[in-house]
Amino acid sequence: MRINVRQFECAIVQYQSLIFTICLTMTKNYFDAEDLAQETFLSAYRNWNRFDGENPKAWLTAIAVNKCRDFLKSPARKSLPLPEEDAALLRDPGGLPEEQAEDRMSKEHIRGLCGRLKEPYRSVAESYFCDEKKLSELARESGQNIRTLETRLYRAKKLLKALWEEEQQ
Amino acid sequence: MNGLFLPDGHVENQVLLDFSEGKLGPEEMLGVAEHLGSCEICAERLAEAFDSGKPSAPPAGFAEEVRRRLPQRETGAELFLYSARVVLAACAALFLVFSGTLRTLAGTQNSYLDITAPGFSAVEQISSRLNGFSQQILHWEVFQHAEKKK
Ligand SMILES: [Zn+2]
């Protein structure tokens, strides 16, 4: 039996929270988790011909665990210190002593981190991570090219991953 | 890795629960993960352990980003093995999630009703419906547009 891409998308909708939660639990980094969850589905898509069709949930779970394990073992994952060109895209945290966030997964905390980015990265990160906007919606509303937004989001994620790690130290 | 595995080589129940709650130390987690990555039985048990906890939802734009990153030539064409049962369940879930928006945006309830008669042909029906729908409703038209421009 064959599946078309829409059906694959159904699987994303059904299992995205499970897969994201696994990645979050393993990496303890919200932004790395988002990336690895995406990688999980992309890898599932590429390797679907190796899947026996029996248990997509277990299959996706195993892929996610493998992705996170590879990531955690990889020495290259430490994004610190940021290269100068990236650090230049961050705003000064300001004079106030930073409060230790009680719940690092909270929207407030994530918004706080997005607020550390300079424009145009801050607004795309806030829309995507805090305001639950899809990039296509943002493109439509702002009249900006979606590829441009995508590039900005990619850059923003790199910075946010590093900020998250920095906090943890 | 003592105490993590059962005599038959699978992971202890309590260890899977601890894993799902983020309570394992880094070494233990990686040790268990090595087994989970290659054992579908334990992977399923882990998924169940996660199901009993509190899930975290990814950002709303997550699925759209995955979609955008799929290899582009294959999209919309033929793909892969799957089980009809799962597809139905997943599409039903999709409909539940989006039905509110769907009806408003599509201006019709027909497709929503189709899903009440599951069966093999319903899968095809739903999937062809989704073909039309996703472009219209799930806001992927921007993506399509961008693709054409390339
Ligand atoms: Zn096992």
Does residue A22 contact residue A68 with C-beta atoms inside 8 Å? Answer: yes
Residues with CB under 5 A from ligand 1 (ion): B 10, 39, 41-42
The set of residues, in sequence order, having a beta carbon less than 8 Å from that of A113 and lying 6+ positions away, is A160, A163, A164
CATH ID of A5-74, from 1.10.1740.10, 1.50.40.10, 3.10.150.10, 3.40.50.2300: 1.10.1740.10
Over the stretch A151-166, which tens digit does the pLDDT of each residue have?
999 999 999 999 998 8
Using a CB-CB distance cutoff of 8 angstroms, which residues of chain B are in contact with residue A145?
A: 146
Interface ipTM = 0.90
Domain boundaries, chain A: 5-74, 97-168
Instruction: State in Å: Cα B29 to ligand 1 middle.
Output: 14
Chain segment B109-125, per-residue pLDDT in tens: 444 433 433 444 444 44
Bridge partners, residue A117, by sequence: A90
Residue A47 has pLDDT above 80, yes or no: yes
The runs of H, that is alpha helices, within chain B are 13-20, 26-36, 40-51, 62-69, 84-106, 110-114, 120-137, 141-149
Per CATH, A5-74 and A97-168 having the same topology is answered no
**What is A97-168's CATH number?**
1.10.10.10
User: How far does the centroid of ligand 1 lie from the alpha carbon of residue A75, in Å?
Assistant: 27
Q: Would the pTM count as exceeding 0.90?
A: no
Count other Cβ atoms within 10 Å, centred on residue A93: 12
B93–A62 CB contact, under 8 Å: no
B148 in Cβ contact with A147 (< 8 Å) = no
The answer to whether B135 contacts chain A (CB < 8 Å) is no
| β-pair partners for A93 | none
**Domain residue extents for chain B:** 2-52, 80-108
